[in-house]
Amino acid sequence: MSKKHKKRIVKAGLPPETLVYTGDRAQTPPVVHTIAYNPDFCNTFNDYRPEKAAPDRNLWVDVLNISDVDFIKTVGEQFNIHPLALEDVVNTQQRAKMDEYDNGLFIVLPHIRYDERWVELQFEQVSMFVGQDVLVTFQEDPDDTLQIVRQRLGEASNRMRKKGTDYLAYSVMDSIIDNYFVALDKIETSVFEVENSIYAASNQHFKAKIFSLKHTLSQFKNKVQPLREAVARMHRTDCPILRQEDAVYLRDIADHVAQVLDHIDNFKDQLINIESLYQSEISNRMNNVMKLLTVISTIFIPLSFVAGVYGMNFENMPELKWHYGYFFVLGIMFITMIGMLIYFRVKKMI
Amino acid sequence: MSKKHKKRIVKAGLPPETLVYTGDRAQTPPVVHTIAYNPDFCNTFNDYRPEKAAPDRNLWVDVLNISDVDFIKTVGEQFNIHPLALEDVVNTQQRAKMDEYDNGLFIVLPHIRYDERWVELQFEQVSMFVGQDVLVTFQEDPDDTLQIVRQRLGEASNRMRKKGTDYLAYSVMDSIIDNYFVALDKIETSVFEVENSIYAASNQHFKAKIFSLKHTLSQFKNKVQPLREAVARMHRTDCPILRQEDAVYLRDIADHVAQVLDHIDNFKDQLINIESLYQSEISNRMNNVMKLLTVISTIFIPLSFVAGVYGMNFENMPELKWHYGYFFVLGIMFITMIGMLIYFRVKKMI
Amino acid sequence: MSKKHKKRIVKAGLPPETLVYTGDRAQTPPVVHTIAYNPDFCNTFNDYRPEKAAPDRNLWVDVLNISDVDFIKTVGEQFNIHPLALEDVVNTQQRAKMDEYDNGLFIVLPHIRYDERWVELQFEQVSMFVGQDVLVTFQEDPDDTLQIVRQRLGEASNRMRKKGTDYLAYSVMDSIIDNYFVALDKIETSVFEVENSIYAASNQHFKAKIFSLKHTLSQFKNKVQPLREAVARMHRTDCPILRQEDAVYLRDIADHVAQVLDHIDNFKDQLINIESLYQSEISNRMNNVMKLLTVISTIFIPLSFVAGVYGMNFENMPELKWHYGYFFVLGIMFITMIGMLIYFRVKKMI
Amino acid sequence: MSKKHKKRIVKAGLPPETLVYTGDRAQTPPVVHTIAYNPDFCNTFNDYRPEKAAPDRNLWVDVLNISDVDFIKTVGEQFNIHPLALEDVVNTQQRAKMDEYDNGLFIVLPHIRYDERWVELQFEQVSMFVGQDVLVTFQEDPDDTLQIVRQRLGEASNRMRKKGTDYLAYSVMDSIIDNYFVALDKIETSVFEVENSIYAASNQHFKAKIFSLKHTLSQFKNKVQPLREAVARMHRTDCPILRQEDAVYLRDIADHVAQVLDHIDNFKDQLINIESLYQSEISNRMNNVMKLLTVISTIFIPLSFVAGVYGMNFENMPELKWHYGYFFVLGIMFITMIGMLIYFRVKKMI
Amino acid sequence: MSKKHKKRIVKAGLPPETLVYTGDRAQTPPVVHTIAYNPDFCNTFNDYRPEKAAPDRNLWVDVLNISDVDFIKTVGEQFNIHPLALEDVVNTQQRAKMDEYDNGLFIVLPHIRYDERWVELQFEQVSMFVGQDVLVTFQEDPDDTLQIVRQRLGEASNRMRKKGTDYLAYSVMDSIIDNYFVALDKIETSVFEVENSIYAASNQHFKAKIFSLKHTLSQFKNKVQPLREAVARMHRTDCPILRQEDAVYLRDIADHVAQVLDHIDNFKDQLINIESLYQSEISNRMNNVMKLLTVISTIFIPLSFVAGVYGMNFENMPELKWHYGYFFVLGIMFITMIGMLIYFRVKKMI
């Protein structure tokens, strides 16, 4: 996150609507897919062809890699995207959001992966401009999150072909949110692993694991919570691009987002419970250590004292001369020891 | 839950409205009950007879076991249920919800049992489609939760016979929610058991029990809270299927749900209190152990020192030659010990 | 509460609107008071006389003991009370609530006493049906909570006589809520007692007391919070029975309920503070115990070691033969001890 | 607070609108100031002169000491104040509130002082009835909180003279709220003092001080929070007495109340931080004590054991006869001690 | 903050709308920049020239240093700023806010710097009056926060020149909020430093650092939260000065404020996690110390007892005369020690 901040600071001195890419991906040329489709046909081009827009069809321009701000600006001007929206496309610190402009909606949502190598969430910002006959999507990463949606659009029988750009946008959102469940599942596995290691012996890194998982869940929630607000705002908007007949699909997305948040809260609760259980296990072990110390000390310190007494060198110590003095003292010591062990057993200390 | 996730992930790659059963019940053929009724008659069939629908009667189709997605699809098409609703029927990860479609309402709510064998809640998803003259219910489990409602409907005098499908749906919901109280009662018993075992001797698993109960209550709440929202939404809707005259019955359901949530919160509070009381009991025991160690050490370590001094082998130690030196030292030691015991008693340490 | 649950479970198998008394009071015959009044007269009868209802007067029927469900049903039918409301009358698990029916309002609120014998709150459910010219009240307990209101109504000059059944209902509610303050005062006394016993010696049951008080306050709050909602709903309703001119009296009730909740929150805060103070007192005492152990051990263990050294039996130990060796070693020991005591004093350990 | 409760309980048996003074101030005769003013003149009388009311002027009646309920009743009837409002005037348990009546607004707010003698907040209830041409204020205490406002009103150039009773009421409220900042400043001083004493030596009463301050802040917040609601309700009301043109002054009051609440929350946060810092300081000291015990014991207990071994009286112990046996053992002991000290130093234990 | 309070108290006795500078900056003469601009020209003057206002242009008067209240009053009267707004300009305790007056909007927001010298946030109050053709800004500090905005306005191509005073106000706000990110970045660095020092050796000041950072974040949040409300209120207002076409820029500001709050909450969460991790590290170290003590004591105290027994001086102790008694006892001791070490190893205590 630090690097992004750095860029954000660079940006601090600049006027609004200045395009600066604040992400940390390498600066490579963008890859663009252009798809023109209507119920009858679907043409896919692996480059940027804005000229394919026409009144009888919908156009989907899918831009991968947003580090080339000049290209982003070109696309924006072509499709009449507001400069502030374009600024958000390249400023990858955005919260998920839905902004309504005169000629369309601008939507930002995070694509979330759980990277096992670094035990952390990886976020990619996906932005969409939904116009009347056009959808422009911007993916931060070059690896192609939306390929599956493009494939499906290619299938002749697919419902997407018959519906407007709003339905296409919903499909993109749904495909991204479906991946949240993949991340959640991996996180669940980690939570279960941690839970199972409570009573295991070497818990050196137990707390650190809990720490990472809690952090991960906080990040996840912070990213998804604004998405819920954004989807709710899409529900309320009366923008004509979002057709009334497709509202059920938006409701479906809202349900999925709510499920994701439910799962996150569940996992958080579980982690808190696990932590408290672990804490109590640790204190239990400590208590056992202290009990051992107490039992040993309480038994042997008085006995040592008795031995010490008869180790004194006074000339006149009558017991020392008794023939069975030694065995008598040994017996007393033994009985005391047994008595104490019984006492501790009764008191449940051993 | 893990298995469901797995299936959910399988689903991640599929387009919306694809029916995939994500539950973990065995794949057995569905059992269907069809009931056609009006105030005058009530015919019950133990198989699927959609053709019994007619303008002068209400039809209730009750499907048990939803693993056969093709059959679900057939039923859905027959009664014109929206594909997204059907998807929710077989995707058993749903939160409780109420979705309004053009031709009816779709309601999902969980049936909750408390299983003593596994000390955990078991959830079964019950879905309902409430149309103008038709109610279709889908039960995840083959064991028949709604049998009692079907029985009651068979009674000629029953109010259900005279009312619409909305009232029937309310009766189904009420019957499911009534079972929440059964689960709550068992949980209450467990909470009381835990409370009574605070001061008992072998509390090895005390914390783990608290952990399970808290987890159970969290799950319970997570399932019932969305139900409250769903019922509230049913209140607000102006769908004509929900008749104004039956609103009082819906209000009754809302009251029951609120009661359930109240009880859950009470139990949670109680568990937190019990935990804190237990914590204090544990630390109390530990303190007693430490006090014992301190008392014994504080008394005998100085006395042993004195004995050690007179165990030294210096040639010139005048006290050693005193005739009553030994008894004098013993006396000093005894007085010191008595004095310390009095001190500890005054300080409430023993 | 357990018993109620048991009954609730019995009820689980029954259809809605079945009257089952779920309380735990003994089944004795109901006591009924009927009062017919208008500004000019006020006739009180100590039995059930529904026939006294007339257009020129208001009728108050006050039923004590609700275990006779058949009688409750009779009353309900006489005054046209909705079956669901009647069900709530005898189901004593109700949250406080206000339900609006076509012919009147149905109000449930708890009567709360603090019972010193059992150190717990005792709840009695009071239900009211407020019709146009009729008020029907149902008291769970045979001991007469509303006697004072009936007395006041008997006084010719009383404002109640000149007003409608809504004002009478407000008076009943006000009289019940006034008793909350009595309970609060007793609880306050308990909180102060607990606060004053923090530093007292034998705190064996301190935590248990805190536990009970917190539980009591939680219960209190759980009972009164729904009452606040109910009163707020009464404010918002446009039911003609609640006259606009009497709204100030309802506002007064709302203020009292808010005060009660304020007090409860204050007491809870205070208990939390007391608990934390007690915790710190306990840990303070423990620290003193540990300091004592440390001081004694740190002083005497090294000295004992020295004594042990000169207790060794080596043949060649020159110091043993020094004439003043013993006194020299004793001196060293004494100086060491004094030095350590000074060190501990400087370090504030003793 | 206890005394008030007692009175409140006395009140429990009485009908609403009965005037009972529930405060604990001495019963002395009220002091009244009557001010008749308009832009042209301002006449101040130090007694009660309701006859000075006239259409061409505003009248302010300022009553100090409210224990004489008969006089309060007389004033109430003279100015047509609703009996419920009068009841609130003398019932000094009120939360801050704003009630709208037909002929004016009734406002209650607390005057708050921080009394250093008793280290606690002292509350005085100030009530106001704001009518069309009349303001009646009731101060619980005989010491004159509103003198400064009366003085200012006397100044010919003062804006108050030209405005209505609403502006006068705002001035009274503003003057009272200004005193909250005085109390806050004293509390801040206490918080800083506590913060600075964390590392100081004798922290005997540290926790108790934190306890008192937290309690004070809770009380403060509990008193001011309802005031915020009351002011917000004044904003929303469309009562003609509150002129639109003076709304900015009410907004100013709302800002001040919000500032007070902000400060209180800040102080609370700081106290929580201080407490946690102190806790960690205490546990740090304890850890140092334990480390000392461990270091001393770990060094000397094994050495004592060695000494003990050579103090044994076996006849055949070859080492005892070695000429340098004693010095050899002493050397071993010394090296062991040095080694352990180095070990502890490396482990950062000393 | 204390000094401000002091001034606030001085102010307590004064009537509203009295201008008193409550900040703690030195009293130096104000520096004023006047800029008259329209799309065609932009004239900058480094002194106060109110006469440059004209119908065909916008005027921006930027006042640095607000300690000269007489000058502030002059400016206020010149531009018809409401006295309450002026009072807020010089009373530097303001929460961020937006007040609507008849002739314009009055906005207060804090300029926030993170000062490394004092490890604390430094706040400067910036106030703005946005009129139809005029913007008046008041900066508390003489160092020029808004210089960059003035510079940009000077650039002929800048969009600001073509837009109204609302856009200029947005630019000022945006420039100030951009600096929040600079402060956040420095705080993030500190949080990371703290996180990395958890396991480092000398953590003497660890807790104090956490304390300062939490305090800083609380302050930050307390300052920015009211700003969010203020911006939301700007959204809702229908004041004609805020043109509908510029609403997107206000939305952009709202997004940035939300991002700042998100970051603050993230950092707070992280600090809480770090604290808990540190706590567990500390208790881990303590446990290791206790284990060491227990292991050493448990091994050597019984052995010392055995040595003590054979150090007793009884005349008849047969073992003492055995030829290999000493070596036998030594062997027993050695085996016991080895056995205990194995036991502890098995129990994971060493």
Portion 141-160 of A in contact with B at CB < 8 A: 148, 152, 158-159
- Which chain A positions have a beta carbon within 8 Å of B5's beta carbon? 181, 184-185, 188
The greatest distance separating any two alpha carbons of chain D, rounded to the nearest whole angstrom, comes to: 123
pLDDT at residue E166, rounded to an integer: 93
Contact A101 E251 (CB under 8 A): no
Task: Dump pLDDT digits (tens) for D160-205.
Answer: 888 889 999 999 999 999 999 999 999 998 998 888 888 775 566 7
Could you tell me if B109 and B126 are in contact, meaning their C-beta atoms sit under 8 angstroms apart? yes
Cβ–Cβ gap E317/D313 under 8 Å: yes
Q: Quick one: tokens of B168?
A: 């029937």
Q: Report the SS3 class of residue E318.
A: helix
Give Cα separations from A227 to A93, A94, A261, E129, E248 (angstroms).
Answer: 14, 11, 10, 35, 19
Cα torsion at E290, E292, E293, E296 (round to 10°)?
160
Nearest-CB residue to A301 (from B285, B296, B313): B296
DSSP β-bridge partners for residue A107: A98, A128
DSSP conformation letters of D193-261: HHHHTSSSS--TTHHHHHHHHHHHHHHHHHHHHHHHHHHHHHHH---TTS-GGGHHHHHHHHHHHHHHH
Q: Flag if D84 and C276 touch (Cβ within 8 Å).
A: no
Instruction: Please provide the distance, in angstroms rounded to a whole number, between the alpha carbons at the two ends of chain D.
Output: 53
Using CA atoms, how far apart are residues B253 and B259, in angstroms rounded to an integer? 10
- D139 forms beta bridges with D64, D126
pLDDT of amino acid A3 = 43
Q: Residue D264 pLDDT > 90, yes or no?
A: yes
Angle between helices D206-236 and C247-309 (to 10 degrees): 160
Rounded to the nearest angstrom, the minimum Cα separation between B148 and chain A is 31
SS (H, E, C) chain C: CHHHHHHHHHHHCCCCCCCCCCCCCCCCCCEEEEEEECCCCEEEECCCCHHHCCCCCEEEEEEECCCCHHHHHHHHHHCCCCHHHHHHHHCCCCCCEEEEECCEEEEEEEEEEEECCCCEEEEEEEEEEECCCEEEEEECCCCCCCHHHHHHHHCCCCHHHHCCHHHHHHHHHHHHHHHHHHHHHHHHHHHHHHHHCCCCCCCCCHHHHHHHHHHHHHHHHHHHHHHHHHHHHHHHCCCCCCCHHHHHHHHHHHHHHHHHHHHHHHHHHHHHHHHHHHHHHHHHHHHHHHHHHHHHHHHHHHHHHHHHHCCCCCCCCHHHHCCCHHHHHHHHHHHHHHHHHHHHHHCCCC
C312 vs D contacts (CB less than 8 Å):
307, 310-311, 326, 329
Please name which of D144, D78, D134 lies closest in space to residue D106, comparing C-alpha atoms. D134
Tell me the sheet residues that pair with C37.
C42, C58
What domains can be seen in chain C, in order of their start residue?
2-281 (3.30.460.20), 288-346 (1.20.58.340)
Predicted local confidence at residue B75, as pLDDT: 94
Pairs of residues, one from chain A and one from chain B, whose beta carbons lie less than 8 Å apart: 145
Residue B125 to residues B25, B27, B142, D209, Cα–Cα distance (Å): 11, 16, 12, 55
Interface of B with C in 237-276 (CB under 8 A): 248-249, 251-252, 255, 258-259, 262, 265-266, 269-270, 273, 276
How far is residue D104's CA from residue D80's CA, in Å, rounded to a whole number? 9
Q: Which residues of chain C have pLDDT under 70?
A: 1-17, 116-117, 201-204
Best of E94, E210, E283, E303 to disrupt the D interface (most D CBs within 10 Å) is: E303
The lowest-confidence range among C152-161, D36-45, D134-143, D260-269 is C152-161
> Could D255 and E307 be called an inter-chain contact, meaning their C-beta atoms sit closer than 8 Å?
no
Residues with Cβ within 8 Å of B242's Cβ and at least 6 positions away in sequence, in order, are B105, B166, B234, B250
- Residue ranges, chain A, pLDDT below 50: 1-5
With CA atoms as reference, the chain B residue closest to C301 would be B301
At D110 the pLDDT is 94
User: From the list B152, B301, B349, which residue is nearest C300 (CB)?
Assistant: B301
Å from D193 to nearest chain E CA?
A: 13
**Helical (H) or strand (E) element with E249:** helix E247-309
Burial-class residue C10 by CB neighbours within 10 Å (0-12, 13-18, 19+). Answer: exposed
Residue pair D267/D191 in contact by the 8 Å Cβ criterion: yes
CB contact under 8 A, A266 and B95: no
The reply to whether B283 touches chain C by the CB within 8 Å rule is: yes
Q: Hey, which residues does A62 pair with through a beta bridge?
A: A33, A137
The shortest CB-CB distance from D313 to any of E82, E320, E322 is to E320
Q: Which two tokens stand for residue A121?
A: 């969430």
Burial B157-189 (b: 16+ CB within 10 A, else e): ebebbebbbbbbbbbbbbbbbbbbbbbbbbbbe
Q: Which chains touch B (3 or more CB pairs under 8 A)?
A: A, C
Q: Looking at residue B1, what is its pLDDT? A: 39
Best probe of the B interface among A191, A313, A321, A349, by most B CBs < 10 A, is: A313
Return the residue matching tokens 């139990």.
Answer: B267
User: Shortest CA distance to A285 belongs to which of E286, C279, D2, B194?
Assistant: E286
Residue C123 CB contacts under 8 Å (≥ 6 apart), including other chains? C110, C111, C112, C223
Average of pLDDT values for D62-82? Answer: 92
What are the average pLDDT values for consecutive 10-residue runs of chain B, which has 350 residues?
48 69 81 92 90 89 91 93 91 88 93 81 93 93 85 83 91 93 91 84 74 91 93 90 90 93 92 88 86 92 93 90 92 94 86
Six-digit token pair at C252? 């007064």
Question: Which secondary structure element, helix H or strand E, spans residue D59, and what is its range?
Answer: strand D58-64
pLDDT band at D28 (very low <50, low <70, confident <90, very high): confident
CB atoms under 10 Å from CB of B275, counted, come to 19
Measure Cα distances from A264 to A110, A269, C266, C301 in Å: 16, 9, 33, 55
Give the pTM.
Answer: 0.85
Confidence of residue E9 (pLDDT cuts 50, 70, 90): low
C218 and B348 in contact by Cβ < 8 A? no
Residue B97 contacts by C-beta under 8 Å, 6 or more apart in sequence? A255, B88, B106, B107, B108, B226, B229, B230
Given a cut of 60, is residue E151 above it in pLDDT? yes
Residue D170 confidence (pLDDT): 94
pLDDT by residue (tens digit) across E27-86? 788 999 999 998 888 899 999 998 888 888 999 999 999 988 899 999 999 999 999 999
**What's the pLDDT tens digit per position in E279-304?**
888 888 888 888 999 999 999 999 99
CA angle C152–C157–C162, rounded 5-degree value: 90
User: Which helix H or strand E contains D37, and what residues bound it?
Assistant: strand D31-37
Distance CA E151, CA E155 (A): 7
Q: What is the ipTM of this complex?
A: 0.81
Q: 3-state class of B63 per DSSP?
A: strand
Cβ separation C324–B301 shorter than 8 A: no
Which of E12, E215, E313 is opposite residue D270, by nearest beta carbon?
A: E215
Q: How far apart are CA D63 and CA D47, in angstroms?
A: 9
| Burial annotation E41-57 (CB, 10 A radius, 16+ → b, else e) | ebeeeeebbeeebeeeb
CB contacts under 8 A, B 48-87 vs A, are 82, 84
Q: How far apart are CA C114 and CA C182, in angstroms?
A: 8
Contact present, A108 and E251 (Cβ < 8 Å): no
pLDDT at residue E5 is higher than 50 = no
As a whole number of angstroms, the distance between CA D340 and CA D303 comes to 11
Query: Cα separation of E231 and E249, whole Å?
Result: 11
Among candidates D84, D222, D292 on the partner chain, residue whose Cβ is nearest the Cβ of C262 = D222
Q: Does B308 touch chain C (CB under 8 A)?
A: yes
Q: At E217, list the tokens.
A: 């974040």
Residue E308 near chain D (CB below 8 Å): yes
Residue B292: closest CA among D283, E299, A301: A301
Tell me if chain D has a CB within 8 Å of the CB of C315.
yes
Tell me, what amino acid is at C118?
W
Question: What is the distance between the alpha carbons of residues A339 and A320, in angstroms, rounded to a whole number?
Answer: 25
Q: What confidence score (pLDDT) does residue B10 get?
A: 55
Predicted confidence at residue C202, as pLDDT, reads 56
Percent of chain D whose pLDDT exceeds 70: 93
